[in-house]
Structure 1
């Protein structure tokens, strides 16, 4: 693996604070579509002095991410990168459909084989950033912005965690589940207890919480309360045991299960879906905690949350304090396209495509 520290000059402000790590086989074209490699050979033979402008765009309203990474890629693997002319928007910029986000001008054979890699970086990072942005927006419609914890570690290959965590940060999530997810922007991962910890204490949530508190006394105590599928009973048990030391309770009830609270109060059933974590369960939990004086305890919900589900909770004003979201944030639903649109400074592009100047682009100087 090769490391390159991104050094940008001019107006572009770098958001990441770490070096990028690239596989050295990029230089050999290992990750490039073969037709780009063949085109490079042909151009070197027949059109070595021709200058092209390649522009990149996508087709949605989105939050752009990946530009720093792309610029580092070009700086690392393009031939004579200082001879290229690059204009770019910044990570975190909100972009319109078909808006040009990046242009690269220079001899095609010096950088053209990187086109697919650039598309892929922008597609993944922008998709994650936009997904997170939309979820964060949904979690704030009630007037109070609820934090979003990025919990995508179990939903994708672990090698993607650093870039995905950075994209989530760009989208508005400032709490991540692993240290790797924080690598590019300078924090450590956060988290408390999984179901496995309670299982190892024979299902005794009190014993598990005591062990956690004794081992990590500097941490705020957050109890996972759905292990026994009786969140209100277990929340009260933990709150009565730990009092002011208990800061948060987390619900992660499976969508295939109905909490014991509803089985004890079947007169409540019939007007809503009682499975999993649902607003009615949150209302009951909040009321029970408040009635016993545990107003300080916050409620964190996890398990299958996405933008639509969070909107449902927020529209009903469910008393959730934080959302933990994973899989839905990693859907790659934004694709980028790179097109050669100028040849030696003159319009030349396939039918339906044209050079789209964008005054928002800022010049990047590579070293």
Structure 2
């Protein structure tokens, strides 16, 4: 399989530095519903040069994402893209239910078969961007704004990472877990250690941290402390070992596990759920670190966090400094619809749909299709 890499030279400055990669089989109709392909062939024979206006919308309050990708798609795979008249909102725009986010006017046979592909791009990117935005707002709902790291590499197919990472960036995360997630917006992946590194050192968190710091001395030392299901004990061990060099600890306790702190202190158990990285455990961890003079050590939590759980933490003023969030950000909850609403400049649409002008849309001009680089 080959990929087509395109750096779009469009009218809007937002497009000139974005690099998207597409499977070249998009142009062969491989990813389009067969009825769109059949319609294209019928129109070519029976209604050639029919001009339609295709309009896209969705039904939620959302953060729009995917428009640049769609425009690049049209530049790459539409026949005669320079003849298309495109109006679009921008990635990152806040949109309302049923608001028109994009219109494409041109000959149906030039671009109509891409309708479903466009819907899918907008649906996935907008869903992820909106999910991230809501989580980021939740992390800002307390006394301080807490950054969010996108850790969705294990929650979906790896081929989605670049687009999901870009959508997460649009939604407001400060960093992503993999290099691929950063590909479309020019950064590098960030992260420290997994449980596997600690396992390689026989479960000795200090030894694993020592090896990490030796190998990557320029990195901020952030140590994972839940491997032995005793986060306070292990956090204090690494804090005593590294002192001011230790920048933070991460708690990633499974939602099926109860930390050893509660086994040693059953008197603190009450009506709360003691499993996972819960609020009382984080309060106890902060207190233990501060009691030994490690106020500088930040606390990062991850593992099953979503908007609701983060809002609960912030409402309780849980002393978290950063959230790592994964799977909850990848739920596809927003669907887009593309409709042909004008035929040769006159209103023509299925019942219940009509052309809805949106003064917020900006004109996007595409050039004649340029030579693109084919990569093996």
TM-score, length-normalised on structure 2? 0.96
Whole-angstrom distance in 2 between the partners of 1:332 and 1:110: 29
SS of match in other structure, 2:104 = strand
Whole-angstrom distance in 2 between the partners of 1:25 and 1:269: 58
Whole-angstrom distance in 1 between the partners of 2:285 and 2:16: 40
Question: Is 1:154 aligned to residue 144 of structure 2?
Answer: no
Q: Counterparts in 2 of 1:44-193, with a 5 A limit?
A: 44-193=44-193
- Kindly report the root-mean-square deviation, in angstroms, between the aligned alpha carbons of the 2 structures: 1.0
Whole-angstrom distance in 1 between the partners of 2:184 and 2:49: 38
1:187-216 per-position Cα deviation (integer Å, ceiling 9, x unaligned): 110100001111100011110011001000
Q: Alpha-carbon deviation of 1:258?
A: 0.6
Q: Alpha-carbon deviation of 1:2?
A: 1.3
1:290-322 per-position Cα deviation (integer Å, ceiling 9, x unaligned): 111111000000001111111111111100000
Indicate the larger mover: 47-56 or 324-333: 47-56
Q: Alpha-carbon deviation of 1:14?
A: 1.6
1:35-83 per-position Cα deviation (integer Å, ceiling 9, x unaligned): 1011111111121132110000000000000000000000111111000
Question: Is 1:197 aligned to residue 231 of structure 2?
Answer: no
Q: 2:374 is matched with which residue?
A: none
Q: 2:7 is matched with which residue?
A: 5
Q: Alpha-carbon deviation of 1:13?
A: 3.7
SS of match in other structure, 2:248 = strand
Whole-angstrom distance in 2 between the partners of 1:2 and 1:189: 23
Give the conservation status (yes or no) of the 8 Å contact 2:229–2:259.
yes
Question: Is 1:35 aligned to residue 35 of structure 2?
Answer: yes
Whole-angstrom distance in 2 between the partners of 1:281 and 1:186: 37
Whole-angstrom distance in 2 between the partners of 1:195 and 1:25: 39
SS of match in other structure, 1:27 = helix
Question: Is 1:302 aligned to residue 302 of structure 2?
Answer: yes
1:128-183 per-position Cα deviation (integer Å, ceiling 9, x unaligned): 00000000000000131111000000011111111100000000002100011011
Give the conservation status (yes or no) of the 8 Å contact 2:7–2:17.
no
Q: 1:314 is matched with which residue?
A: 314
Q: Which runs of 4+ in 1 moved over 6 A?
A: none
SS of match in other structure, 2:59 = coil
Whole-angstrom distance in 2 between the partners of 1:17 and 1:327: 29
SS of match in other structure, 2:28 = coil
Q: 2:346 is matched with which residue?
A: 346
Whole-angstrom distance in 1 between the partners of 2:23 and 2:235: 48
Gap runs ≥5 in structure 1? none
Q: 1:237 is matched with which residue?
A: 237
Whole-angstrom distance in 1 between the partners of 2:16 and 2:331: 23
